[in-house]
Structure 1
């Protein structure tokens, strides 16, 4: 089995589409089909069922999937280990970030990085934080810079870099602006626009509400904070947003609960050999972490306060 055929197999399995797999690997669809056919001949088994436009793994395909992932991870790890011996910083760096971090935190850091390391080809993807976690776990990504999960993961090294102070906000003409001594219970009785139910940010809010025995179903939800800001600013409901996003269109509500803090940072797989390119990016992130150390002291105290 050659690595190109295995890469095509994994791409089709992940995308559930030959055409999307071809786009992902920058190949033609016939080239993808040929590689899959070669692999099926080698293993003497059909790997995909093609029913109309739907592509699903056969039993043989399901058995091959984790083994193909392991083989390609081992090959990539060997290549990185050998390349690192030269000390050169180059090649491809596969990373992902969330839209919010990519827009508001990373630009200065990435500008410095690309200036200092022009030989690195940065394969940057914008993903929800939860998706990025999974992609680091399965080896698709070398590093992710995202909102951090509330709970640690035994296979991942997770390092906080920044902290967002989260604020309850609404439009300047929203009725909540005129409610004195606003409680969380009163807030929950009004329409809200919030991150999706499975996001780490929503989990942060859910934990706080559970302290007070409260539950909340968002009136509307999206994972894009910039979209939430727009929806909130036109009066569709209150929201929970980073303090840095508050402007003249929004009002921060004084709610009877301590501030919420959201950790942001990077994660890598503990068992993966990092490329020199990834190590240099982590060095940049560590510098950013040092400059935000005081905010982390505040966050830590807040999290340990009953």
Structure 2
């Protein structure tokens, strides 16, 4: 009996079939099937019922599965213990970012970590704030750069990178351009430009409107705040953007009041802790890298 056979067996069960298991394992499907048949011959019992479209555990397979998982976990634990002892990091980590993460120098962050720990595979996913928050909570992501309002999402620890007021950005020919502030209720009469649903700023706007009994009229949606600002500068509506996004020569930023809106961009990781030494090292690396960004942003 080989660890490879146990790994193939567990992967077939987890992935719900031989084809998906082979893709995840990066091996040919016949190789997965052959190893499973050999394991079954050694044990003297079929582990999977292959008569349906999806293989299902037999009684023997159900008995073997938790023991196979335990054996694989024990081997990984032994490898991790040795790695920690020698200071060698291996494994994989996954980070998620917002579409408009360019100013945060994520490429430098990833490159620096890769150079320090070449044995760790790092993956990057771009998505909206809601999807990233779920990914961190459920364990698909070790770390994410998210946006949120006044409350930290449940189940997460965060390190704030930027905290900004959200403003109504308009072109200089807009009636609001001569004002310093505007009540949120007054914006219900205007064509608004905002992130799509699920984005951090959009969630803040939607929640504030719901609390105030306001029905916003969103006419343009884009995932990049810079595009929102461009549309507003051309007179196509009122963009809801961070105050820094309205600091342009062709825009005028108007404070939103009653209520005031603000949002945070932050690094987020599971409050219960990361899954291993590689993930812990990556979280600490990212926190240190973006502490420097936060300091530079505060001084600018």
TM-score range, shorter-chain basis?
A: 0.5 to 0.7
How far does residue 273 in structure 1 lie from its aligned partner after superposition? 2.9
The 3 A distance-change label for structure 1 pair 86 and 180 is: closer
Give the root-mean-square deviation of aligned CA atoms: 4.5
Answer whether contact 1:161 1:288 (CA < 8 A) is retained: no
Deviation sequence 1:85-139 (CA, Å, 0-9, x none): 43223443222222223x1213443444344444433212222222222223333
Pair 1:3 & 2:2 matched: no
What TM-score comes out, normalization by structure 2 length? 0.67
Indicate which of 277, 288, 291 corresponds to 2:290: 288
Partner of 1:205: 205
Q: Describe how 1:167-206 pairs up with structure 2 within 5 A.
A: 167-178=167-178, 182-206=182-206
What TM-score comes out, normalization by structure 1 length? 0.66
Structure 1 residue ranges without an equivalent (≥5): 50-56, 297-306
Partner of 2:163: 164
The 3 A distance-change label for structure 1 pair 197 and 137 is: same
Partner of 2:154: 153
The 3 A distance-change label for structure 1 pair 34 and 43 is: closer
Q: Describe how 1:1-306 pairs up with structure 2 within 5 A.
A: 2-4=6-8, 6-7=10-11, 25=24, 27=26, 42-44=47-49, 78=77, 80=80, 83-101=83-101, 103-105=102-104, 106-148=106-148, 150-154=151-155, 156=156, 158-165=157-164, 166-178=166-178, 182-246=182-246, 247-257=248-258, 258-268=260-270, 270=272, 272-276=274-278, 278-286=280-288, 288-289=290-291, 292=294
- Structure number, greater radius of gyration: 2
The 3 A distance-change label for structure 1 pair 48 and 252 is: farther
- Aligned residue for 1:267, secondary structure, equals strand
Q: Which moved more, 1:90-99 or 1:176-185?
A: 176-185
Q: 1:76, 1:140 → 2: CA distance? A: 22
Q: 1:269, 1:47 → 2: CA distance? A: 41
Q: 2:82, 2:221 → 1: CA distance? A: 46
Q: 1:76, 1:252 → 2: CA distance? A: 58
Q: Which moved more, 1:281-290 or 1:234-243?
A: 281-290
How far does residue 33 in structure 1 lie from its aligned partner after superposition? 9.4
The 3 A distance-change label for structure 1 pair 272 and 218 is: same
Answer whether contact 1:146 1:264 (CA < 8 A) is retained: yes
Answer whether contact 1:136 1:269 (CA < 8 A) is retained: no
How far does residue 191 in structure 1 lie from its aligned partner after superposition? 0.7
Q: 1:3, 1:224 → 2: CA distance? A: 42
- Aligned residue for 1:192, secondary structure, equals strand
- Aligned residue for 2:176, secondary structure, equals helix
The 3 A distance-change label for structure 1 pair 288 and 249 is: same
The 3 A distance-change label for structure 1 pair 268 and 4 is: farther
Deviation sequence 1:125-164 (CA, Å, 0-9, x none): 222222222223333222223224745324x4x2123123
